Amino acid sequence: MNLPGALLTVALGLCLATALLALAVPARIRPALSGVGTAAAGAAGAAAGGAAMAGQTWSAWLPDLLPLAGVRLTLDPLGGLFIAVTGGVAVCAGVYGIGYARHGLSGRIVQATLPLFVASMLLVPAAAAVSTLLVAWELMAITSLLLVLAEHGRRPAVGGAGLWYAVMTHLGLIAILGGLAGFAAGAHGEAFEQLRSARLSPLARDAVFLATFAGFASKAGIVPLHAWLPRAHPEAPSHVSALMSAAMVNMGVYGIARVGLDLLPGSTGGASGGGTPAWWWLLVLAAGGASAMYGILQAAVSSDLKRLLGYSTTENMGLVLMGLGAAGFFATRGAPQLAALALVAALLHVVNHAAFKTLLFQAAGSVLHATGTRNLDVLGGLRARMPYTTALFAVGALAASALPPGNGFVSEWLLLQSLVHAIPASGVAGAVAMPLAVGVVAMSAGLAVATFVKAFGVGFLARPRGPEAERAVESPPSMLGGMGLAALCCAVLAVGPTVIVPGLARAVGTLLPGPAPVTGPAMRTVTLHLSGIAGTMSPLLIAVALAAAIALAAGAVRMFSARRRRAARLWDCGAGPMSPRMQYTATSFAEPLQRVFDDVLRPEMDIDVTPKKESAYLVERIRFHAMVPDRIERRLYGPLLAAAEALGRRARALANGSVHRYLAYGFWTLTGLLILLAVIP
Amino acid sequence: MTGLSSAGLSSAGLNAAGPDAVGLIATVLQVVLVVVGAPLLTGLMRQVRARMEGRAGAGVLQPWRDLRKLLRKEPIDPRGTGWPFRLAPLVLAGTALVVAAVVPLVTTASPLDSAADLFAVTALLALGSVALALGGLDTGTAFGGMGASREVTVLALVEPTILVSVFALSVRAGSTNLGTIVGLTEADPMRVLSPASLLAAVALALVTIAETGRIPVDNPSTHLELTMIHEAMVLEYSGPDLALIEWASAARLTVLLGLLGSLFLPWGVATGGAAGMGALVAVLVGVAAFAAKTAVLGMLLAAGEVFMAKLRLFRIPELLAGSFLLALLAVAASYFLAGGA
C-alpha cells in the first residue's frame, strides 16, 4: 500500500473510530471528540487526495467487504481532487463543530453521524465499481439526511425540508442506479475498467448519460432539480450546511465528469470525449447556465441568510457545469487545449467554491448562533458586536462575488477565457452558444455582487434592526478557528492559484488525455499564462498593486490633511435622530432588482386592510405580506405533487378491505407474469 | 494540452532594459496624467455645459480648487459608522489608480499589461463601486441604502454588456489583453470600421455612461432623492474623504473615456516597437493623443448631456438591455461577417 492508499485508510479508520467513540463517551466531551476526530480524518483525507493529485495512484479490491461484488477503490488525480476538497472542508467543519455543537447538538446520533458523513464523501470519489459507488452514495444520502434532521425538534420547517431531501435524493439515486445498471449490463461487468471498454449502442449511451446526468445534477442542485437544496441546506446545523454545500454537491459534478468524460467516451472506441455527441455537452452547458442565472436571481431577492447561500450554491454549481459542458463540447469539436482550459476552470471553481462556501455558511452559523435568526431584515450592526465574524464573512463575500482580489474571480476569469476563445473552433452552434454563455456568466457575476453586498452590507453593517442583533456577542474561539482556516484557504487560492494548477492539470489529464502536463517553473510564478491562448492575468500582482495604490491614496490624504478625525452626528434632514427602522432592509435593497426581473420572479404581495366598524374610511389594521416564491418549484413540482396525490386517492378504490379481492390481485398478477415470461423468448 | 502553463514575470521590466524602461516611464506618465488631468476633464465638461446653457461657468480649474478646499477640511466620521465607511474612499481611489496603470492609454507596452486584462479591469472598477456601496450602507441612513441598492442594480445589469463587448473585440485579436487588442487595431486601422467594432463601440459607450453615472442613467449634479444614485451613497462623506471620492469618480470617467479612445481610435498610442529617442517621442505623442482624444470625447459627452434628460430609474434596464443586444450583435457580426463565413 502506497502513501495515498495508507492515508485514505487512516482517514476512513479515523472516521469509524470517532463515530464509535462518540456513541460511548459522555455528552460533555462528545462534541470535542467528534470535532477533533472529524478534523483529523479530514486532514488525512486531504493529504491522500493531495498525494493522488501529485500523481501517485492507488487501487484496491476488497472482495470480502460487501457480498457479491466486493469493494473496489481507486485513487486517481480526478478522484483525489474531490477527496482533497472534501477533506479540507471536513477539517474546517470539524474544528467549527466543537463550539457550534454546544447548544443542543451534542446528541449521540448527530455526533456519531458527522464523521460517517465525511467518510462516505471520501469514499464516493474513490469508488472504482458501480456497486461501491452506489453504496457510498446511499451512505452519503442517509447520513446527510440524519444530520439535516438534527434540529427537527426546534423548528417545524426542518421536517418538511428533510422530507423533500429524502424523496429527491432517492429519486436521484434511482436515476443513477438505473443508468449505471444499464451501463454495467451492456459492459458485462461493473468495475470501471470494464465500463471503459464497453461497447454500447448510441441509444443506450444516450439513455445512460441522461439518467446519470439527471441523478448527479439533482445532487449538485442544478435547476430544475434543485428544489431540495434551498430547503435542506438552511435547515441543517451550520457546519453540516458547510459540508453539504461545499463538499457534497461536488459529488454531483464528479459523477457527471466521471461518467460523461471518462467512462462513456471509451464505449465508442474514441478517446477523450471526442466520441460523445455534442448535444450532451450543450445540454450540460444549458443546464449550468439556467442554474447560474436562476440560482443567483433567487439569492439576490432572498432575505434569509442561509437560504441565500443555498441558492448561491446552485449558482456556483451552475458555473461549474458550464465549464464542464464547454469542456465536453470543445473535446467533441477537436479543440483539446480549450477543453482542458474549460475543465481546469471548472475544477478550480469547485475548489474555490468549497473554500468560500465553507467560510460563508460557518459565518452565517456564527450569526445564527449569536442572534438566533437568519432573517437579514432584522440583522445589522454586527460589525461592532462580532468583529471577527464580520471580517471573515467579508472575505467570503468578496470571493463569492467574483471580484479581485478574491479567489472566485480567478476561476471565473479562466471560465470566461475558455468561452471567449471558443469562436474559431466551435462552429455555428458554438458561435451562438458561447456569447450567450459569456452573457450568463457576466450576469450571474453582476447579480452575485448585488447579492453579497446585500448580505454583508445589510446583515453586518450599520445599526441593528432588531433586538436579536442588538444582543449579539462574538462566537467561541473554536468556531472562529474553523472559519479562520477556511479564510486562509480562500486567501491562498486567491493570490496563489498557480500552486494547485499542476494538480488540477493532472486531474484534467485523467479525463482528456493529451500531451505533457505542466512542466517547469509552474510552482514558483505568479502569472497565469494560458497555453495556446494569449491571455495572462496575475492575481498576486493585482492584489499587491491594489494594496500599494490604497496605501498611496491614504498617504496622499494624510499628507494634505493632518487634522484628526472627529465624530459627528449623521445628517438627519433636521428631523431629529434617526431610528434603526429608517434603514434600508434586505427586502428594500433587493426591490429594484426584483422589479427589473419581475417577469421571471413573479413576486407575490398580499395587502389586507381591516376597517373599523364605524366607517370604511377608518382603518384599524393593515397587514402587508410579500414573498418571492421559487417559481420553478411552484409551477413544476406543484402540479406533480398534486397529480401524485390524486393518483394515490384514486388507488384507494383498489383496496376496499375485501380479502377475496386481494387474493384475486395476487392470482392475476402471478398469471400475468407467467404469461409474460412465456411470451418473451 | 494542459491549458495552463505558468511563466512568471520574465518580461516584466528586467531582461531588456531599453523598451521596458520606456514602457515603465510611459506607465508612470500615464498615471500622473490621469491623476492631474481627471479633475481638469470634469472642469472642462462642466465649462462646455455651462457655455452651451448660456452661463459663464466656473472655469476648467474649479474642480481642483474644490479638491484643495475639501482636502484642508477636518475629516469627520458620522457616529455609528466603522471601517467599511472609512475604507471605501481609499479602495475606490486605489482601484482607479490601478486601472489607470494597467489600461493602455499612452502606451501598450506597460510592464503591468500582463497582470490584468479587460475582464480584470472591469472587475476592479466593480470592486470600487462595491466598496462605495458598502460605505453607503454602513452609514445606516435611508439615503445610503438607497444609493447602494441602485448602484449595485445598475452594476449587475451593466456587467453582461461589458463582458460580451470584450468578447466581440477579442475574437479577432485572439486575446482579451488590452495591449494586444489596441496594438492590433493600430496596425490595421480599417478594423475600426468593421460592423463588429462599431456595434461594440456603441455598446461600450452606453455602459461607460452607466458606469460613470452620467445622464441619462444618473445625474452627477442632482440631490433629488427620487433620482440620485451615486450622490445618495456619498451623502455622508465630507472633507478629505469626499475629495478622494470626487477625484476617483473623475479618474474613472477619464480612464473609461481614454479606454474607449484607445480601443476605437487607437492612433497615437505608443506600441513600444521603437527604441531610444524614437520610443520617447512615441510616448510624448501618446500623451498628447490621449489628452486630445479624452478631451474631445468628454466635450462630446457634455454636449450630449445638455440635450438629454435623466431617464426614470426603472427605464434604465431597458437602455442596458438594448446595449447588451448591441454587444451580442457585435459578437455575431465578428463571427458571421469575418471568420466564420
Q: What is the pLDDT of residues A12-44, one digit of tens each?
A: 999 999 999 999 999 889 999 999 999 999 999
Q: What's the DSSP call for residue A223?
A: T
B239 within 8 A of B76, measured Cβ to Cβ? yes
Q: Are residues A453 and A343 located together in one domain of the fold?
A: yes
Tens digit of pLDDT for each residue in B151-183? 999 999 998 898 898 888 888 777 888 888 888
Q: Is residue A220 part of a domain?
A: no
Report CB contact under 8 Å: A528, B334: no
* Mean pLDDT, rounded, of chain A: 89
Greater confidence (A520 vs B30) lies with B30
Q: Is the Cα dihedral B194, B200, B203, B206 positive or negative?
A: negative
Q: Specify the number of domains making up chain A.
A: 2
User: Is the pLDDT score of B341 beyond 60?
Assistant: no
Q: Are residues A384 and A457 located together in one domain of the fold?
A: yes
**How far is it, in rounded angstroms, from Cα B223 to Cα B231?**
7
* Closest to B209 in 3D by CA, of B158, B149, B167, B166: B158
Q: What's the mean pLDDT in A329-333? A: 87
pLDDT value for B4: 39
Residue of chain A nearest B88, judged by CA positions: A550
* Amino acid at position A356, single letter: F
* Amino acid at position A416, single letter: L
Q: Are residues A341 and A428 located together in one domain of the fold?
A: yes
* Closest to A78 in 3D by CA, of A443, A457, A459, A507: A507
**How far is it, in rounded angstroms, from Cα A23 to Cα A34?**
10
* Closest to B204 in 3D by CA, of B297, B109, B311, B93: B297
Q: What's the mean pLDDT in B64-72? A: 93
Range in A433-437, A527-531, B98-102, B145-149 the model is least confident about: A527-531
pLDDT value for B17: 43
Q: What's the mean pLDDT in A460-472? A: 92
To which H or E segment does residue A620 belong? strand A619-627
Peptide bond before residue A405 is cis, with ω within 30 degrees of 0: yes
Interface test with chain B among A465, A519, A523, A536, by most B beta carbons within 10 Å: A536
Q: Are residues A590 and A644 located together in one domain of the fold?
A: no
pLDDT value for A633: 87
Q: Is residue A479 part of a domain?
A: yes
The pTM for the full model equals 0.93
Report CB contact under 8 Å: B82, A578: no
**Residues in contact with B61: Cβ distance below 8 Å, sequence separation at least 6, in sequence order:** B40, B43
From B2, B127, B144, residue closest to A404, measured CB to CB = B127
Instruction: Calculate how close chain B gets to A446, using CA atoms only, in Å.
Output: 4
**How far is it, in rounded angstroms, from Cα A533 to Cα A454?**
36
Q: How far, in whole angstroms, is CA B87 from its chain's centroid?
A: 21
Tens digit of pLDDT for each residue in B277-336? 788 888 889 999 999 999 999 999 999 999 988 888 888 889 999 999 999 898 888 877
A340 contacts in B (CB within 8 Å)?
1-3
Q: Are residues A593 and A645 located together in one domain of the fold?
A: no
Residue of chain B nearest A507, judged by CA positions: B2
Q: Is residue A484 part of a domain?
A: yes
Q: Exposure of A381 by Cβ count < 10 A (0-12 exposed, 13-18 middle, 19+ buried)?
A: buried
Q: What's the DSSP call for residue A170?
A: H
Query: What are the cell numbers at A99?
Result: 463550539
Report CB contact under 8 Å: B120, A584: no
A557 contacts in B (CB within 8 Å)?
71, 90, 240, 243-244
Report CB contact under 8 Å: B160, A501: no
Report CB contact under 8 Å: A423, B340: yes
User: Is the pLDDT score of A524 beyond 50?
Assistant: no
A469 within 8 A of A43, measured Cβ to Cβ? no
Q: Are residues A285 and A422 located together in one domain of the fold?
A: yes
pLDDT value for B88: 96
Q: Is residue A298 part of a domain?
A: yes
In the stretch 92-111 of chain B, residues with CB closer than 8 A to chain A read: 93-95, 97-98, 101-102
Q: Is residue A231 part of a domain?
A: no
Q: What are phi and psi of B116, to 5 degrees?
A: -150, 140
User: Is the pLDDT score of A298 beyond 50?
Assistant: yes
Report CB contact under 8 Å: A416, B335: no
Q: What are phi and psi of A530, to 5 degrees?
A: -100, 130
From B72, B80, B133, residue closest to A463, measured CB to CB = B80
Q: Are residues A493 and A637 located together in one domain of the fold?
A: no
State the count of interchain CB pairs (< 8 A) between A and B.
Answer: 349
Q: Is residue A266 part of a domain?
A: no
**Residues in contact with A274: Cβ distance below 8 Å, sequence separation at least 6, in sequence order:** A265, A331, A332, A334
Q: Are residues A449 and A334 located together in one domain of the fold?
A: yes
With cut-offs at 50, 70 and 90, classify the pLDDT of residue A529. low
Q: Are residues A506 and A367 located together in one domain of the fold?
A: yes
Structural domain of A357? 272-516+528-543+583-599
Query: What are the cell numbers at A89?
Result: 472542508
User: Is the pLDDT score of B13 beyond 50?
Assistant: no
Q: What are phi and psi of A466, to 5 degrees?
A: -150, 170
* Mean pLDDT, rounded, of chain B: 86
Q: Is residue A360 part of a domain?
A: yes
Range in A232-246, A443-457, B22-36, B188-202 the model is least confident about: B188-202
B331 contacts in A (CB within 8 Å)?
423, 431, 435
Range in A506-520, B50-64, B325-339 the model is least confident about: A506-520
In the stretch 204-263 of chain B, residues with CB closer than 8 A to chain A read: 235-236, 239-240, 243-244
Residue of chain A nearest B126, judged by CA positions: A403
Q: What's the mean pLDDT in A284-288? A: 96
User: Is the pLDDT score of A518 beyond 50?
Assistant: no
pLDDT value for A626: 85
With cut-offs at 50, 70 and 90, classify the pLDDT of residue A126. very high
- Whether the complex's predicted ipTM is more than 0.90 is answered with yes
Report CB contact under 8 Å: B134, A461: yes
**How far is it, in rounded angstroms, from Cα A408 to Cα A390?**
19
With cut-offs at 50, 70 and 90, classify the pLDDT of residue A522. very low
Report CB contact under 8 Å: B148, A447: no
With cut-offs at 50, 70 and 90, classify the pLDDT of residue B1. very low
From B93, B114, B324, residue closest to A527, measured CB to CB = B114
Q: Are residues A337 and A293 located together in one domain of the fold?
A: yes
User: Is the pLDDT score of B274 beyond 70?
Assistant: no
Q: Are residues A362 and A406 located together in one domain of the fold?
A: yes
With cut-offs at 50, 70 and 90, classify the pLDDT of residue A523. very low
Assess A429–B contact: CB distance below 8 Å, yes or no: no
Residue of chain B nearest A437, judged by CA positions: B164
In the stretch 375-414 of chain A, residues with CB closer than 8 A to chain B read: 380, 383-384, 401-404, 409, 413-414
Report CB contact under 8 Å: A561, B71: yes
Assess B276–A contact: CB distance below 8 Å, yes or no: no
B177 contacts in A (CB within 8 Å)?
534-536
pLDDT value for A531: 58
pLDDT value for B16: 39
User: Is the pLDDT score of B10 beyond 60?
Assistant: no
User: Is the pLDDT score of A122 beyond 90?
Assistant: yes
User: Is the pLDDT score of B46 beyond 80?
Assistant: yes
pLDDT value for A520: 32
Report CB contact under 8 Å: A538, B163: no
Q: Where are the alpha helices (DSSP H) in A333-422?
A: 336-371, 382-385, 387-400, 407-420
Assess B131–A contact: CB distance below 8 Å, yes or no: no
Q: Is residue A658 part of a domain?
A: yes
Assess B152–A contact: CB distance below 8 Å, yes or no: yes
Assess A56–B contact: CB distance below 8 Å, yes or no: no
With cut-offs at 50, 70 and 90, classify the pLDDT of residue A655. confident
User: Is the pLDDT score of A561 beyond 80?
Assistant: no
pLDDT value for A320: 97
Report CB contact under 8 Å: A457, B148: yes
Instruction: Calculate how close chain B gets to A357, using CA atoms only, in Å.
Output: 20
User: Is the pLDDT score of B6 beyond 50?
Assistant: no
Q: Are residues A395 and A453 located together in one domain of the fold?
A: yes
From A531, A561, A589, residue closest to B72, measured CB to CB = A561
